[in-house]
Structure 1
Amino acid sequence: MFAPLNSEETAILARLPIVNRARGSRLYTDDGKRWIDCWADGGRALAGHKPDGVSLRLKNEIDRGLFAAYPNRWQNRLIKAMLKLFPGYGAARVFQSAGQALKSIPANRWPIDPLDVPPGTEFISGPVWGRPQLPNHPKGDYLLPILPLPGLSEVQSVLYAHDTGDLPASDMNSPLILAALTRACYSVSSCMDKRHVNGVISRKNEIRDGGNRINFWEMRGPYMVYKGDERNYEEIFESYFSQSVLIAPSVKRPSVLPLNPSMGELKKLFFCCNI
C-alpha cells in the first residue's frame, strides 16, 4: 500500500531517536546508534538517503541562482528519465502535488500499489503507483511513479499509456527539485538493479547461523512484502526495532532491502532468535 501515513503510523515512526545524519540505508542517531532503514521513507529512499550525485547536482543548480518555479531545462530531462525508468508509456507530465496529478486523469479512485496484486499481473485498469525496479511491473492506463528522493512528496508525475494529444500541461516546478529528482532516477537504476538485489539474496543464502531463518518476507525485487500472520506483525516490528532495524510501520506497507548490507546486517534481517 502506498498512501499518506495515518496517525498511528506517524506515532510509531516518531519513536525513533533524533537522527543526526543519514547515508545510504543507514540512520545515525543522537544516542550513538546506527540503524538499518528498511522503511526507506515509504520507498522514496530506495536509492538511499543521499543518492549518488544528488548533492553535487543541487550545488550546481544553487550556484545558478534560480530557485523559483519558472520555465527551466529540467522539466523535459526529468520526463526523459522517468520514461526510461518505466518504459512503454507514451507521454509524461509533472505536477506540483499528487492531488493535481490525480485531477489530470479521468479516474475516481486512488492508484493501486503493484505490490498489492499477484506477481505476474500484466495490466491494471486505471491508475497505478510506479515502484522503481519492481520486476515485471504491471502496466496501467496511468502510472504515478514513487520518485526516489526521500522527504519529497510535493511533486508528482504521471505517465500516460497513450499520448492522446490533449493531455494537460505540466505544472511549473523549481529547477532545484526537478534536477534532484532527475539525478535520483538515474541513481536508482544503477544502485538497485537486478544484479544488486540478486547479489544480496545470494549472500543471505550463504549465511550459516544458529538462529531461526526468517521466512515471512517475500522478495519482489528490492521490496520486502510481509507474508506472515498479520496478528504477529506488531511483535515482529518491535523485535526489529529493539535491534535498531526500522521496517514498515504497518503490515499493509512494504519494507525495502537495504543498500550494500553487511553480513551482520543480513543476519539481523533474515536470521533472528527473538521472533
Structure 2
Amino acid sequence: MSDDGQPAPGHGYRKGPVLLRGQQIPTTTSDQRLLSGAGDTSWLSGDPWRVMRIQSEFVEGFGALADVGPAVSVFGSARTKPDHGDYALAEQVGGGLARAGYAVITGGGPGIMEAANKGAKEAGGLSVGLGIELPFEQGMNDYVDLGVNFRYFFARKTMFVKYSQGFVVLPGGFGTFDELFEALTLVQTHKVMEFPIVLVGRDYWQGLLDWVTGAVVERGLIGPTDHELLRVVDTAQEAIEIVVARDAELRSAEQAAVDATARDQQAAQDASS
C-alpha cells in the first residue's frame, strides 16, 4: 500500500496498448474524460472517434478470450497483502478452480487478484487478468498468463460476465461490491443465466446478508427469494463445489433443452412425411 492509501505501484500504467511510467502517467482516465460534462464542445469531434476506440476494446477482448473455455471470475480487494489469511484463501480458490478444469479470471491486479492468479498458475491452469486504466500505477500481476488491458470499465465488465461460468467473491471494497451487485442484477433480471455467485468469508459478508434478508426484503425492494442468488461459505473447497455443481446443473438443463428441440423437429418432420 502506498502512503496515500492507494494500492502499491505495479509494473506501469496501461493506457490501451501503451505502457506509461513516471511523469508520463496522465492525471485523468479515459472513463473520467468520457463521463465528464466539462462544459466544452470538444466531444462533438472527439466522441465519434471515442466510439471507435470503445468498439476496438470489445473486439480485442472477444478475440483474446474466445478460446479460454470454461472459466470462473474471482473478485476481491487489491489491497490485501500476501501475509493476510484472505490472500491464502484466494490462492486456494484459484488452485482449486484450475484443478476442477476452469480458467481463473481476475482483474489482473495485486492483492486477492494476484493470489487467485497465482493459485491457478501454480496448479497448471490458465490464469487470466483483465486490467483497467486507473489514475495510479497498478499493473498486471506476475501470475497472469493471458492479460487484456481496458480503458473502460463497462467493456471490461462485459468480458467478466461473457466468459465466466460463475463468480467467486472474496472480501473487498467498492470495486468488489460493484462487480458483485452488477452480477446479481444481471441474474435477477435474467439478462444472464443463473450462474453461481459465491461469497467467501462469512465473518466479512454476514452483515451484508443480514441487511439484504432483513431491511431490503422487509420493504419489498427485492423478491422474497432473491437473496438466494447469493451463497456464503467459509472455505475454498465449499466455493468450488458450489460452482462445479451449479455449472453441471446448467449444462444438463441446456442439453435437455437441445435434445427436446431436436425431438420436436424430428416429430414435425415425421408428421409431414
**Shared fold (TM-score, shorter chain, > 0.5):** no
Point out the structure with the larger strand share: 1
Give the TM-score of the pair, scaled to structure 2: 0.27
Point out the structure with the larger helix share: 2
Give the TM-score of the pair, scaled to structure 1: 0.27
